[in-house]
Amino acid sequence: MTAEVFTPTVAVTMTPTAVKHVRKQLDKKPEAKGIRLAIKKSGCSGFKYETQWVEEAATDDKVFHIDGVDVFVKEEHLPLVNGIEIDFVTEGVNSLFQFRNPNATAECGCGESFTVA
């Protein structure tokens, strides 16, 4: 009998609007190689998203190549963001990243933090 190695697929996607926004910002930051999607413990629901410009990849980064944009995610955060879609939206006079995470089971009322079961 032989054992089959199973490697789960992890997905991070971006909408065309988010890709366009990140590309525009990267054009202004020639030292940046991409954007990091990080997870921090915070808020009333448990976790929050943070984005940062990446100049050097860390050894524990997984890199997602999305339409010419590199999204860096630390391996430890992969279970929390698997399947996430990153969007960039304008609401009134504010523009911000919006995260659609199929793993989030709850969000706080202000939208700052989320829970993963």
State the residue for tokens 């990446």: 54
CA-CA distance, 32 to 52, in Å (whole number)? 10
Chain-wide mean pLDDT for the chain? 87
Which residue carries 């030292």 as its tokens? Answer: 31
Give dist(CA 61, CA 54) in Å, integer: 11
Distance CA 64, CA 83 (A): 12
Average pLDDT over every residue of 5-12 = 70
Contact 46, 116 (CB under 8 A): yes
Cα torsion angle, 14, 38, 99, 23, sign: negative
pTM of the shown model: 0.85
Residue that has been written with the tokens 């939206």 in this structure: 89
Rounded to an integer, the average pLDDT of 83-87 is 94
Query: Would you say residue 60 has pLDDT above 80?
Result: yes
**Structure letter (DSSP) for residue 47:** E
Residue type, 114: F
State mean pLDDT over 54-81: 93
